[in-house]
Amino acid sequence: MKFALIFQNDTVAFLPELFLAISILVVLLHGSFLGVTAASLHSYLTPSMVRLTSGTLFLSLLLVINNPVESQTLWNAIFIADYLSTWAKFIIFIGLLFCVSVSESYMFSARFRAYEFFVFILGIALSLCLLISSYDLLSIYLSMEFLSLIFYVLAAWKKNSYFSAEAGLKYFILGSVASIFFLFGSSLIYFSLGTTNLASLALLTENLSVSSAFIYFGLVCIVSALLFKLGAAPYHMWIADVYEGAPTLVSLIFALVPKVAFFVVVLRIAFTSFWSLFPTLWEDFFCICGLLSLFIGCLCGLGETKIKRILAFSSVGHVGFLCLGLASGSIEGIQAVLFYLVFYMLTAAFLWVYVLHLDLTSNSSLLTFADAIGLVRSNPFLGFGVVLMIFSLAGIPPFGGFFAKLNIFIGLVDSSFFIVAIFAVLTSVISAFYYIRLIKIFYFEKNNNWFFFAPLTKGASIVLVLSGLIIIFFMLSPNLFYLLSYKVGLGLFF
Amino acid sequence: MLLTLLFIFLSLGIVGLIVIPSNKKLLMRQYALFITSVVFVFSLLLWLGFDQSTPKFQYVVNWLWLPIANINLVLGIDGISLFFVILTTLIFPLCLLASWSFDKGDIKTYLISFLSMELVLLLVFTNLDLLFFYIFFEAVLIPMFLVIGIYGSRQRKIRAAYMFFLYTLFGSLFMLIGVIYIYLFAGSTNYESLATVNFSNYDQKWLWLAFFASFAAKVPMLPVHIWLPEAHVEAPTAGSVILAGILLKLGSYGFLRFSLGLFPEASVYFTPFVFSLSLLGVVYTSLTAIRQTDLKRLIAYTSVAHMNLVMIGLFTGTVIGVEAAILQSLSHGFVSSALFLIIGILYDRWHSRVVKYYGGLTHTMPIFIIIFLFFTMANLGLPGTSSFIGEFLLLVSAFEANTTACFFAATSMILGGGYSLWLFNRIAYGNVKLVGFDLSLREFILFLPLVLGTLFMGIYPNIFFSVMHAAVSNLVWADLWM
């Protein structure tokens, strides 16, 4: 009874996570009971799992929107519920719903009949929710490990492929090193400040005049680990191999979902807890990471001939832009980052769903440019959409990607980072080169082989239409989103 | 209201084109021609209802796009932009008419690209918001890139499309940073509000340079003109016409509207720089044009020379110079479009653009040669044609501003005579090398408005100047230069 009184509000605000945790068990039971009969594997298991998973995700989405608590710490300030966490959870649920809705046809054609995949998706949802609402270095670490374990398994999921095994192993080893760095960094901070709670850290560092080297070093370790998970530049080594080696459906999840959650954590650490270190530490750190990412993203993409690798390097470049948005250290910067994250997620969803479609229809599993030749002739509408999205990724107006970059530039110029802005401009011209090379492949080259009209599956077309429409809506009337991201950003400052 | 109607009509026209099934090619062509012709009539109505006594913007449309951040789409027309709008709406139906028999690849994508290009170009010329100007200025790249890349003639088209895209993108991203700086400095990107803002001299210089990087690639000025011959040569005929006739005017329009209008002190400061680059451009590209063997490449280089002459006029800082520059832009829009159409007709018949391949056409295609002669003369500035008015007034104002500059600019007349006459000589006279049909009715009708327009502008230019007076006088503060 007493317990109920103390944690009454906490339970209410924590409902989505609780619901997800219980439903993981239910889905696991459902799958294992269905999975024992071999006959049901082919036709019944995957569709029923898809329905169950998407239903669960949708219900948790509703629970998140319906969150009655405005802003409050939960469970002795280990977690928090605020605007940022609500909207970030909303975004990742949308992303995961996208992933689930394209998974059915992939599971059939790739002959994967494992129900565990859907349990993993729910696990990803739970761990990302926990990560987003974490308010303590320890809970961040634990939920990050929860997420990473699932990701390691998923990357190595294609048992008969060397690429997949390589991806899984690389991701596992490098990811463990990153986790160690995080743990080491938080222990250093605990050593020098005596707490791991983000709010207490904010109070302690508010008027910090002489800060010890331990704090700096610890923070660098922590944020490096987070940037590793995001694939920012000095820590980008795994990203191309993992994206290429993992099954395409899993690469789609890697590309779409976790970025939002990790950026939320970075925002919390940089802007809530250690905002007082802004001019000295954060500006240099994020600027260096951002510029390096832009540089790597544009140069390494130039020589690539595989579509998945090119998308991986383009994601490095985009994370670079996001880091530059953080470097400006103002509310405009946060706003730009949130804006950019959503646009990037929608655009990437469109392109990755196309890559998935290509994976299902083409013969080779490597997905080089040669597989994509003649897209416009075999499927004109899809080709047109993909070309527009690539222009959007390259940041050509009037598409969404331009407005996202514009906000980042506004943040940079506002903080007088002129040289950085000019460098970003140069790299975006260079990266425009490989984006329009993709367009050349789609539109200008003649295919010598036979090609067939391959219709998109229903789930994939729903995702494409939804992401396209949302982007067009934000292009035509950005007011709503602009205000929302401003409000979310304001809630971040302690 | 009229302007809103025009844009709604054109946008709905594009949507309608998507709906037409792609095997009805003739219907699509007729439909697109109808849409563009109606838009042309709309633009003439804009001229008819234009109040030439005021420098203010007319037909203003204001769409609250992002009112919180004070970024709104504002459209309007004044005496400077009116003729660029009319030029755009005139060239597009002609282009569609010129590509009537063009049947290479998907016609639907082709027509949609052209109509969307017209929409975006009209949005650029009527735009009164700096950020949206940038957006549409860049957005023109996309349909043009696709047109060059998909419908170009040779394998080199891909290189041309890349160069076209990347040169312009590279320049204009600097302009983007300039626009953002202005937005943060002034809190608005509205042109009319910005005209009241005083930028410091130091800021003006940097901003001017940022804008210069973008517009110079579009004009094109000397070091960054390499994309132009490539793009003009590889594009299909209609694409070259749009490139020469309208896209190059984006550069001079941008200089006129933004560099001169927002940063007058910096414009004065950089005038010698612009003069030197333009003079180099005029002389160098004229000399280059003489020795070209590819017809389209030759005309492309003459375009560079003429547009650089326009730049000199813009930076003389006199009302006469600026008005002459606008008129010369228009005239160049007519004449070089016509020349590209002429080459397109030769190319349609014999599929070659090599000068040596042709000869003695005067014996077999007399009507064609008359029109070719007319535009050759117009190209070198014969009195009675529009170019004469433009070039003469340009040189007058250049003489007033800088006599040395005037001297070198005047060499363009002689060099222009050189390349134009020699080209005409090689193609029209000599032994009959080829036998072909003369102009068809469609092709004749194609040239008629251009011939009439060129003559009209040459004989009675005052009807054009009188519209510009108020706006240009408002723009130019001559005392800064003197």
pLDDT in tens, A371-408: 777 777 777 788 888 888 898 888 888 888 888 888 89
User: Using CA atoms, how far apart are residues B32 and B114, in angstroms rounded to an integer?
Assistant: 9
Place of tokens 């910090």: A208
Name the minimum distance, in Å, from the CA of B168 to any CA of chain A: 10
In this prediction, residues A154-161 reach a mean pLDDT of 84
Task: Mutation target for B interface from A429, A445, A474, A476: give the one with most B CBs within 10 A.
Answer: A429
Q: Does A428 sit within 8 Å of B135, measured CB to CB?
A: no
Cα angle value A346/A347/A350 (rounded, 5°): 90
A116 closest CA partner among A169, A51, A68, A46: A46
Name the minimum distance, in Å, from the CA of B177 to any CA of chain A: 7
Pairing state of beta strands B58-66 and A79-81? unpaired
| Confidence at residue B65, expressed as pLDDT on a 0 to 100 scale | 86
Backbone φ and ψ of B206, nearest 5°:
-65, -45
Ramachandran region, residue B317 (left: φ > 0; alpha: ψ -120 to 50; beta: rest): left
Q: Does B134 sit within 8 Å of A413, measured CB to CB?
A: no
Q: How many CB atoms lie within 10 A of CB B474?
A: 17
Residues of chain A positioned with their CB less than 8 A from the CB of B162 = 433, 436
| Confidence at residue A333, expressed as pLDDT on a 0 to 100 scale | 86
B237 closest CA partner among B401, B110, B69: B110
Pairing state of beta strands B71-77 and B58-66? antiparallel
User: Using CA atoms, how far apart are residues A101 and A95, in angstroms rounded to an integer?
Assistant: 10
Q: Does B158 sit within 8 Å of A479, measured CB to CB?
A: no
Which residues in B have their CB inside 8 Å of a CB on A?
65-69, 106, 131, 134-136, 138-139, 141-142, 145-146, 149-150, 157-158, 161-162, 165-166, 169-170, 173-174, 176-177, 180-181, 183-184
Contact B368, B345 (CB under 8 A): yes
Closest Cβ–Cβ partner in A397, A440, A478 for B158: A440
Contacts of B138 (CB under 8 A, 6+ apart): A396, A397, A402, B168, B169, B172
Which residues in A have their CB inside 8 Å of a CB on B?
380, 391, 396-398, 402, 406, 409-410, 413-414, 418, 421-422, 425, 428-429, 432-433, 436, 439-440, 443-444, 477-479, 482-483
| Confidence at residue B172, expressed as pLDDT on a 0 to 100 scale | 87
Name the minimum distance, in Å, from the CA of B122 to any CA of chain A: 15
Name the minimum distance, in Å, from the CA of A378 to any CA of chain B: 13
Q: Does B65 sit within 8 Å of A432, measured CB to CB?
A: no
Residues of chain B positioned with their CB less than 8 A from the CB of A409 = 176-177, 180
Place of tokens 């009509």: B9
| Confidence at residue B10, expressed as pLDDT on a 0 to 100 scale | 93
Indicate if ipTM > 0.90.
no
Q: Does B145 sit within 8 Å of A418, measured CB to CB?
A: no
- Closest-CA residue of B relative to A484 is B68
| Confidence at residue A399, expressed as pLDDT on a 0 to 100 scale | 85
Amino acid, res. A160: N
Longest Cα–Cα distance of chain B, Å, equals 70
Mean pLDDT of chain A: 85
Residues of chain A positioned with their CB less than 8 A from the CB of B184 = 410, 413-414
Name the minimum distance, in Å, from the CA of B389 to any CA of chain A: 38
* Residue A2 pLDDT grade (very low, low, confident, very high; cuts 50, 70, 90): low
Residues of chain B positioned with their CB less than 8 A from the CB of A398 = 135-136, 139
User: Using CA atoms, how far apart are residues B318 and B394, in angstroms rounded to an integer?
Assistant: 10
Task: Mutation target for B interface from A388, A393, A409, A446: give the one with most B CBs within 10 A.
Answer: A409
- Closest-CA residue of A relative to B172 is A425
| Confidence at residue A379, expressed as pLDDT on a 0 to 100 scale | 79
Check whether A448 has a pLDDT greater than 80: no
User: Using CA atoms, how far apart are residues A72 and A124, in angstroms rounded to an integer?
Assistant: 24
| Confidence at residue B287, expressed as pLDDT on a 0 to 100 scale | 92
Place of tokens 């986790």: A179
Contacts of B474 (CB under 8 A, 6+ apart): B55
Closest Cβ–Cβ partner in A391, A418, A443 for B149: A443
Amino acid, res. A357: H
Residues of chain B positioned with their CB less than 8 A from the CB of A413 = 177, 180-181, 184
Q: Does A413 sit within 8 Å of B177, measured CB to CB?
A: yes
Closest Cβ–Cβ partner in A380, A413, A482 for B180: A413
Contacts of A329 (CB under 8 A, 6+ apart): A271, A278, A279, A282, A283, A415
For A360, the token pair is: 């299902």
How many helices (H) and strands (E) are present in chain A, helices listed first?
24, 2
Task: Mutation target for A interface from B22, B181, B202, B205: give the one with most A CBs within 10 A.
Answer: B181
Check whether A17 has a pLDDT greater than 60: yes
| Confidence at residue B215, expressed as pLDDT on a 0 to 100 scale | 93
Place of tokens 């295919």: A447
| Confidence at residue A209, expressed as pLDDT on a 0 to 100 scale | 66
Q: Does B66 sit within 8 Å of A396, measured CB to CB?
A: no
Ramachandran region, residue B101 (left: φ > 0; alpha: ψ -120 to 50; beta: rest): alpha
| More reliable by pLDDT, A47 or A409 | A409
List, as own/partner pairs, every contact residues A418-426 make where C-beta atoms lie below 8 angstroms and the sequence separation is at least 24, other chains included: A418/B177, A420/A287, A420/A290, A420/A291, A420/A324, A420/A327, A421/B177, A421/B180, A422/B174, A422/B177, A423/A291, A423/A294, A424/A290, A424/A291, A424/A294, A424/A320, A424/A321, A424/A324, A425/B173, A425/B174, A425/B176, A425/B177
- Closest-CA residue of A relative to B64 is A477
Residues of chain B with pLDDT under 70: 477-482
Closest Cβ–Cβ partner in A429, A477, A478 for B170: A429
Check whether A39 has a pLDDT greater than 80: no
Taking CB atoms and an 8 Å cut-off, how many pairs form between chains A and B? 78
User: Using CA atoms, how far apart are residues A376 and A221, in angstroms rounded to an integer?
Assistant: 47
Name the minimum distance, in Å, from the CA of A293 to any CA of chain B: 19
Name the minimum distance, in Å, from the CA of B228 to any CA of chain A: 18
How many helices (H) and strands (E) are present in chain B, helices listed first?
24, 2
| Confidence at residue A450, expressed as pLDDT on a 0 to 100 scale | 66
Distances (CA, A) of B63 to A279, A410, B134, B148, B187: 39, 22, 17, 33, 18
Contact A429, B169 (CB under 8 A): yes
Q: Does B165 sit within 8 Å of A425, measured CB to CB?
A: no
Tell me the HSE value of A105 on the side-chain side, using a 13 A CA sphere.
16
For B332, the token pair is: 């160049």
Q: Does A414 sit within 8 Å of B184, measured CB to CB?
A: yes
Of all helices (H) and strands (E), which one includes residue B58?
strand B58-66
- What would the 3-class secondary structure string for A295-329 be? HHHHHHHHCCCEHHHHHHHHHHHHHHHHHHHHHCC
User: Using CA atoms, how far apart are residues A414 and A407, in angstroms rounded to an integer?
Assistant: 10
Q: Does B177 sit within 8 Å of A418, measured CB to CB?
A: yes
Check whether A244 has a pLDDT greater than 80: yes
Q: How many CB atoms lie within 10 A of CB A88?
A: 26
User: Using CA atoms, how far apart are residues B442 and B298, in angstroms rounded to an integer?
Assistant: 26
pTM for this entry: 0.89
Contacts of A163 (CB under 8 A, 6+ apart): A244, A245
Residues of chain B positioned with their CB less than 8 A from the CB of A396 = 138-139, 141-142, 169
Structure letter (DSSP) for residue A134: B
Ramachandran region, residue B70 (left: φ > 0; alpha: ψ -120 to 50; beta: rest): left
Task: Mutation target for B interface from A413, A472, A473: give the one with most B CBs within 10 A.
Answer: A413
